[in-house]
């Protein structure tokens, strides 16, 4: 049976409901671990949490695409489509009724505190300060990665409805729509999706090189066994240094795929240069690597 399922499939699943945080600075996060540290700090602080949710949430980015009608044009083609507008929004149902969640769901509102009393009022005009500078949803990926969706300058445009029931919990439904910062900001829609990978450690492999059968060929060997979805790539450096690659760093076009057994024609001039052999996953991201000085048949 033809199937898209592979060993990485179940590592790429998004799990659980995630978390909503407003005005969250994730610019210093370099991987999943440092992002988790920033999230933990935000949870402890509590002031930027939107609140616990029920039923998860939804991120939607809708586009209005227009294809001009032109005499003689029988079908659309590359370059004939234009994006008139993009609307990006996060929707969810909150079950924490706090001043923070109520003010965020009211949208154009002001909050003031005096002692143990906090008063929230809705003003009739929407002011610049009413927009949430950024609203982030952060969710887990099965292999330990985190995915973050950030709305820029968002505002809840849904009607405010606090629903309460007997023998149940009050809920607040919200739909936060992103907005551009100003009229000159047209290059990108006002949201971004960011993946944070785990830092991990690059494993090591042993690789050897021997002269091939024909001039210019080398025969690489390794005892490393590939798992499903993995493959080998190599890159040649100089006689003094081998190419380097970090854990989960993508092996770009400068790396060449190798089937694990065939002799490689690297040219006689490559004799003595160092080669790095890497094991990469289905997304061409490095898991292990090793290097050796090339032995090439020169005559």
Distance (Å, rounded) from C-alpha 219 to C-alpha 208?
8
Task: Assess whether 243 and 189 both reside in one domain.
Answer: no
Give the chain's domain count.
2
Q: What is the DSSP letter of 250?
A: B
Structural domain of 184: 9-196
Q: Which of 196, 228, 246 is the last residue of a domain?
A: 196
Among 42, 140, 57, 169, smallest CA distance to 100 is for 42
pLDDT in tens, the chain (299 residues): 788 887 678 888 898 999 999 999 999 999 999 999 999 998 888 878 899 999 999 999 999 999 999 999 999 999 999 999 999 999 999 999 999 899 999 999 999 999 999 999 999 999 999 999 999 999 999 888 999 999 999 999 999 999 999 999 999 999 999 999 998 888 899 999 999 988 888 999 999 999 999 999 999 999 999 988 899 999 999 999 999 999 888 999 999 999 999 999 999 999 999 999 999 988 898 999 999 999 999 98
160 lies in a domain? yes
* Helix residue spans in 70-137 (DSSP H): 99-106
Task: Assess whether 132 and 46 both reside in one domain.
Answer: yes
pTM above 0.85, yes or no: no
1 lies in a domain? no
123 lies in a domain? yes
């Amino acid at each position: 049976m033809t199937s898209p399922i592979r060993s990485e499939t179940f590592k790429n699943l998004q799990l659980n409901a995630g978390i909503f945080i407003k005005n969250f600075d994730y610019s210093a996060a370099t991987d999943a671990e440092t992002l988790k540290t920033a999230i933990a700090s935000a949870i402890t602080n509590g002031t930027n949490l939107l609140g616990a949710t029920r039923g998860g949430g939804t991120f939607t980015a809708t586009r209005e695409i227009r294809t001009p009608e032109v005499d003689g044009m029988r079908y659309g083609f590359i370059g004939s489509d234009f994006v008139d507008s993009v609307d990006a929004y996060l929707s969810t149902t909150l079950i924490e009724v706090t001043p923070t969640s109520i003010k965020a769901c009211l949208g154009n509102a002001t909050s003031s505190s005096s002692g143990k009393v906090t008063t929230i009022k809705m003003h009739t005009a929407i002011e610049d300060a009413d927009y949430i500078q950024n609203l982030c949803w952060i969710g887990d990926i099965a292999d330990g990665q985190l995915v973050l969706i950030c709305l820029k300058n968002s505002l809840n445009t849904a009607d405010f409805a606090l629903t309460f029931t007997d023998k149940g919990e009050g809920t607040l439904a919200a739909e936060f729509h992103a907005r551009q910062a100003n009229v000159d900001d047209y290059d990108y829609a006002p949201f971004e999706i960011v993946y944070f990978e785990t830092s991990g450690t690059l494993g090591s492999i042993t690789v050897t090189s021997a002269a091939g059968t024909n001039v210019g060929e080398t025969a690489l060997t390794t005892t490393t066994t590939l798992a499903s979805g993995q493959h080998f790539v190599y890159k040649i450096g100089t006689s003094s240094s081998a190419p380097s690659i970090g854990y989960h760093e993508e092996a770009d076009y400068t790396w060449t795929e190798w089937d694990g057994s065939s002799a490689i024609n690297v040219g006689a001039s490559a004799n003595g240069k160092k080669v790095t052999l890497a094991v990469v996953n289905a997304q061409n991201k490095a898991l292990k690597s090793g290097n050796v000085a090339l032995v090439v048949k020169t005559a």
